[in-house]
Structure 1
Amino acid sequence: MAEGVDTGDDLFESLRKQVDPKKLEEKAKAQAEREAAQSAKAAQRLGELIGSNSSLPVTISSIRLIGASHTRRSFLDRIFDPILTANRDKAYTLQEALQEVGSATDKLRRFEIYHPSLSTFVDRPDPTDPNSSPTDIDVYIQARERGRISLKTGTDLGNVEGSAYGNLTWRNILGGAESLNLNASAGTRTRSAYQATFDTPILSDPDKRATVDVLASSTLKPWSSHEEVLKGAGAKYSWATKSGTRHQVGYTGMWRQVTGLAANASPTVRTDAGDSVKSSIIHTWFADRRDHPFLPTRGYYMKTVSEIAGWGPLQGDVAFWKSELETSAAIPIPILGIKGDSGVSLTGGIRGGMLYPLAIGFGSEIKPSRINDRFQLGGPTDVRGFKMSGLGPRDGPDAVGGDIYAAASANLLMPFPRVGKDTPLRLQLFANAGRLLALQDGKKSTSQSFYSTAAQIGDGLPSIAAGFGVVYAHPVARFELNFSLPLALRKGEEGRKGLQFGVGINFL
């Protein structure tokens, strides 16, 4: 063979050396590191430039949103017009201008009609433009709209129920961040549930929203030997305060049916069987200062729900005042030998509620509460170690609910050994207690019966359970698998010794 001519094997060997996967991977890694270093240097230079010119006077002459083809101009004007210098009494410094633009961009992001990665650029206008001044800056915001229509289907398993669901969401319907959500589900306990919700921000403010919804559902309640069918509609208005707390006030009209009674249904359930109409106004307030909604290590949470039904002009055939208070707090537990956050935390929670019967409309007759409206207590998401609705008054085989309740829980959460505190898994030790009571019928007035029943909450030991388990914090819900042991039960109540599985977003 002539000298200097490669054989086929030599050629392939030469090519292999040039395209060695390990070398290519090393080159790509080195290139990524160089680009990251360049980006970091650019960000540092930009920060230094802004820092050294933070007091430089500037005027925002224009703001342009790129990529918002389905958002109407009037909706955006309410967000951006107030920060244009032409609409202000005084000029900005560069730092103030960037802060205002950042706040407006964050507000735009919270409407959830764009992908979160909004990019902001600042440029000088054309110096030859006679309408521009040396202090003018133009702001450009690059956005990418989310899909206007999305469809999700799936299955859920938890709280002794399996279900399949479908969700259709239509976003930015009229170009002002309006949305329409259609939900349908069917399961082993909730036989069917359908809901349509239209939601819109008020005056381009993500913290002020109006909602209208209609719903229909059919739910089996085996703990009280019946099926509940609901059909109704409501309207709500929600807003946030400057301190970060949130309020919601709304009106709901609901037609309820207690139907499908079991053969051994108790007299209490049979008395409340049939139709009822509830017309009510509901106010909800909550403040969430926790560092994580499902695995908090510090902070607190408070919530109140107040409902007035059937009183005065509301009418319907039930009337009552119903109020609930829920609060919880978490504190980190330091561990010797571990610097910083150990991942160990102690959480505690308290819930309480009361239902006070009222006269319907402007009448004087006060009727006892119905099974539809009373509180139920016990289960894997509130008082663990008890069956669903295992606490409180019973009539034969049925849990018939109560008018006054109190419950408390303490939980110690610890990271799994060799797994670390940065994972969503935790070991849990818990103890919880609760008591649920019904107003006593008799010769006493409603107020006397209410106060005497409330005084019994602290009379003697409540029902108590303790145990341990595993907690997994999924982005959309918290999962728990616990071994529970009831320690104190009142007569007729139903504890649950052994494994108990719970899924929810709000645990005691």
Structure 2
Amino acid sequence: MLLHLKKQRERTGLKAIWSWKKKKESSDSKHNIDCSKITNLLNQLSLEAVPLRVHDVIIQGNTRTKDSAIEAVMEDLKHASTFLKIIEDACIAEARLKDLGIFEHVKLVIAAGPRELPGTVNVVYSGLEPEKLREVNVSVSTKLGAISPSVEGTLKWKNLLGLADIWDGSVSYGKDERAEFSTGVSLPRIGGWWSPVFTRVYLESQDWLKLSSYKQQSFGLALGLLSTKNHKLSYDLAWRTLTDPSKMASKSVSGELGHNLLSSIKYIYQLDARDSPWRPTRGYAYSFITQLAGLYPHGRTARFLRQEFDLRYALPLVFGNTALNFGISGGVIIPWGKKTSLPDRIFMGGSSFSPVGSLGQLGSFSGFSHRGLGPSEPRRQTKETTSTSYRDALGGDLAFAAFANISFDLPVKVLRDAGIYGHVFACAGNLVNIQEKGWYNFSPQTFLQTSRTSVGCGVVIPPTRILPAAMELNFCRVLRHSVGCDQVRGSAQFNLKF
């Protein structure tokens, strides 16, 4: 009897297991069918132009920002007609909302549209706005044309009008006695113009006494008309005053002292397709800058056309983790109506860094002092200073530079893991002032024969999250320079670049 009950339980258990297995296989088969349907649907949506449109944009979570400001960012979504186009425009809109800098969290969800409207979806926006409108930032940066880094403090008020507007006031001061006070406002969109528009009023003071025997004060208005990834268009109106407190300025600089007005529009087109801005191993980059001055009818208005270009290319070498970078850059200033004023000329020299990371900076040239390459003139002699070694840099209106750089890994594993690498580089270029002698007296052969050259090597520490500055220790040697005219720097140079 006991044996019979035992066998009956075994049969019942086997039936239960068999039944469970059949159910599981049926469930797995059904699950596989569902997964297959989903996979086929995704393949169809990604490969075919499936008709789909946005029925409504639903905005949630905004307490201060106006609906119209958010809807303006997602305007392109309303015109999308396929699933892929909706996904693409939603990703772009989400990135733009995050770039506004007024949200702590942004999320876009594509949901099904109303049942009575097949082939439609709703885009649901949900965001989190910060409680505090004010933001205080302190940073260290190296501005274009500055001798040394400057400390900048900025106070921002975000979204005061609910239009994603950002108001700010900033103060900066550098070791070279460069000071700037400015205030401004930026708006991400005005009407159908998506590009951010900004307006700044600034008061700037620059001390060039050690290099060119003058101080410059500028009071002006800067207006940004276009700012995208590759294009920038701006207008600048500034009243500038040049003075010489030392009373030692050369004859050429003394003739430039006084007031002048800058009314110019500047366009920048820049593309960087390299794999890294600090240590590129492949890719290309180029920059074109056009500036037209003289737009305001005034007797003291500076009038000129300035054109600059910068071309870069990087390619890996066959041995190790080495790469070759080379490039050429140049610039020309064509005055119209009057001679180009001193602050608007091209100056070269002063960079102790390899030229790889200075895209769009024509004045970079290793081995020379700041403004130390190109035309110069002896200062006036006084009873205290009778030496003729003190010269004023005058700048020029035609510049050309070329470089070659080879980067390589260091033999120490700890340094390689930290991203620290070595490099060797060579530079060549020249700067002349054609306006003094006239274009008809310009000789390309003489321009090339009088070019300056320098070579160097060093160690580079790229920026990190802890220290957002690149550090370089370079040993540079100038092979050719103009004796009595150029100012050459020492061989060993350590610098920070923010």
Return the alpha-carbon distance in structure 1 between the equivalents of residues 397 and 487 of structure 2: 19
- Residues 481, 229 of structure 1: alpha-carbon distance in 2 compared, 3 angstrom cutoff: farther
Return the alpha-carbon distance in structure 2 between the equivalents of residues 302 and 154 of structure 1: 28
1:460 corresponds to which residue? 449
Q: CA deviation at 1:486?
A: 0.8
2:248 to 237, 250, 264: 264
Conservation of the 8 A alpha-carbon contact between 1:180 and 1:197: yes
SS at match of 1:316: coil
1:391 to 354, 373, 391: 373
Return the alpha-carbon distance in structure 2 between the equivalents of residues 263 and 490 of structure 1: 27
1:297 corresponds to which residue? 281
Return the alpha-carbon distance in structure 2 between the equivalents of residues 283 and 156 of structure 1: 23
Equivalences for residues 266-415 of structure 1 within 5 A: 266-310=250-294, 313=297, 316-335=300-319, 342=321, 344-359=322-337, 367-380=338-351, 382-396=364-378, 397-415=391-409
Return the alpha-carbon distance in structure 2 between the equivalents of residues 202 and 79 of structure 1: 8
Return the alpha-carbon distance in structure 1 between the equivalents of residues 108 and 188 of structure 2: 24
2:431 corresponds to which residue? 436
SS at match of 1:465: strand
Return the alpha-carbon distance in structure 2 between the equivalents of residues 454 and 50 of structure 1: 69
Conservation of the 8 A alpha-carbon contact between 1:282 and 1:305: yes
Structure 1: where are the runs of 5+ without partners?
1-43, 337-341, 360-366, 443-448
Equivalences for residues 68-467 of structure 1 within 5 A: 68-84=62-78, 92-93=82-83, 95-115=84-104, 118-124=106-112, 132-133=116-117, 136-145=120-129, 148-155=133-140, 161=148, 163-203=150-190, 208-221=195-208, 222-240=210-228, 245-248=230-233, 250-310=234-294, 313=297, 316-335=300-319, 342=321, 344-359=322-337, 367-380=338-351, 382-396=364-378, 397-416=391-410, 417-419=412-414, 423-439=418-434, 441=436, 449-453=438-442, 455=444, 458-467=447-456
- Residues 410, 284 of structure 1: alpha-carbon distance in 2 compared, 3 angstrom cutoff: same
1:24 corresponds to which residue? none
Conservation of the 8 A alpha-carbon contact between 1:393 and 1:399: yes
Return the alpha-carbon distance in structure 2 between the equivalents of residues 486 and 349 of structure 1: 19
Return the alpha-carbon distance in structure 2 between the equivalents of residues 329 and 207 of structure 1: 32
SS at match of 1:208: coil
Q: Report the residue type matching 1:490 in the other structure.
A: S
Q: What does the per-residue CA deviation read over 1:309-332, in whole Å, with 9 as the maximum and x for residues that have no partner?
A: 236846534322222222222222
Conservation of the 8 A alpha-carbon contact between 2:103 and 2:129: yes
- Residues 328, 313 of structure 1: alpha-carbon distance in 2 compared, 3 angstrom cutoff: same
Return the alpha-carbon distance in structure 2 between the equivalents of residues 275 and 227 of structure 1: 12
Cα RMSD (Å) of the superposition? Answer: 3.3
Q: Report the residue type matching 1:395 in the other structure.
A: E
Q: Report the residue type matching 1:224 in the other structure.
A: S
Return the alpha-carbon distance in structure 2 between the equivalents of residues 46 and 477 of structure 1: 52
Larger displacement relative to structure 2 (418-427 or 267-276): 418-427
Structure 2: where are the runs of 5+ without partners?
1-34, 354-363, 379-390
Conservation of the 8 A alpha-carbon contact between 1:190 and 1:217: no
- Residues 60, 259 of structure 1: alpha-carbon distance in 2 compared, 3 angstrom cutoff: same
Q: What does the per-residue CA deviation read over 1:221-276, in whole Å, with 9 as the maximum and x for residues that have no partner?
A: 11112222111113231154xxx63141x332212222244343322222222222
Conservation of the 8 A alpha-carbon contact between 1:168 and 1:181: yes
- Residues 454, 142 of structure 1: alpha-carbon distance in 2 compared, 3 angstrom cutoff: farther
- Residues 180, 296 of structure 1: alpha-carbon distance in 2 compared, 3 angstrom cutoff: farther
Larger displacement relative to structure 2 (344-353 or 257-266): 257-266
Question: Normalization by structure 1: what TM-score?
Answer: 0.74
Q: What does the per-residue CA deviation read over 1:115-159, in whole Å, with 9 as the maximum and x for residues that have no partner?
A: 4x644444446xxx7x64465544434433355321112556897
Return the alpha-carbon distance in structure 2 between the equivalents of residues 175 and 49 of structure 1: 44
Larger displacement relative to structure 2 (481-490 or 312-321): 312-321
Return the alpha-carbon distance in structure 1 between the equivalents of residues 451 and 111 of structure 2: 67
Q: Report the residue type matching 2:137 in the other structure.
A: K
Return the alpha-carbon distance in structure 2 between the equivalents of residues 47 and 351 of structure 1: 54
**Identity of counterpart residues, as a percentage?**
24
Q: CA deviation at 1:466?
A: 0.9
Return the alpha-carbon distance in structure 2 between the equivalents of residues 175 and 206 of structure 1: 18
Q: CA deviation at 1:398?
A: 1.3
Equivalences for residues 2-13 of structure 1 within 5 A: none
